[in-house]
Amino acid sequence: MRLFTEEMRKEISIVTHRYPMRVSGYYLGLITDRGDPIYRQCIPAPEELEDVTGQPDPLHEGAHCPVARLYHRYPDRVLLLATNNCAVYCRFCTRKRNISEKSSSISDRELAGAVDYLRHHEEVHDVLISGGDPLTLPVERLEAIIRAIRALAHIDIIRIGTRIPCVDPVRIDESLCAMLKRYHPLYVNVQFNHPAEITPESKKACSMLADAGIQLGNQSVLLKGVNDSPEVMKELVRRLLAIRVKPYYLFLPDLVKGTGHFRTSLECGLEIIRSIQGFMSGMATPQLVIDLENGGGKVPLSPVNVVDRQGGRYTLRNFENVRYDYVDSPSCKARG
Active site residues: 73-74, 77, 86, 90, 93, 95, 254, 291, 298
b/e sequence 71-91, b meaning 16+ C-beta within 10 Å: bbbeeebbbbbbbbbbbbbbb
Closest CA to 107 of 141, 134, 152, 62: 141
Is the peptide bond prior to 134 cis by the omega test (within 30 degrees of 0)?
Answer: no
Query: What is the Cα–Cα distance from 152 to 83, expressed in whole angstroms?
Result: 21
Query: What is the Cα–Cα distance from 72 to 66, expressed in whole angstroms?
Result: 7
Closest CA to 323 of 311, 315, 312, 331: 315
DSSP 58: T
Q: Which residues 6+ apart lie within 8 Å of 330 measured at CB? A: 312
- Rounded to the nearest 5 percent, the helix, strand and coil shares of the chain are 35, 20, 40
Question: Which contacts (CB < 8 Å, 24+ apart) does range 57-61 have?
Answer: 57/97, 58/254, 58/255, 58/256, 58/293, 58/294, 59/94, 59/254, 59/291, 59/292, 59/293, 59/294, 59/295, 60/294, 60/295, 61/95, 61/295
> Can you give the length of the chain in residues?
336
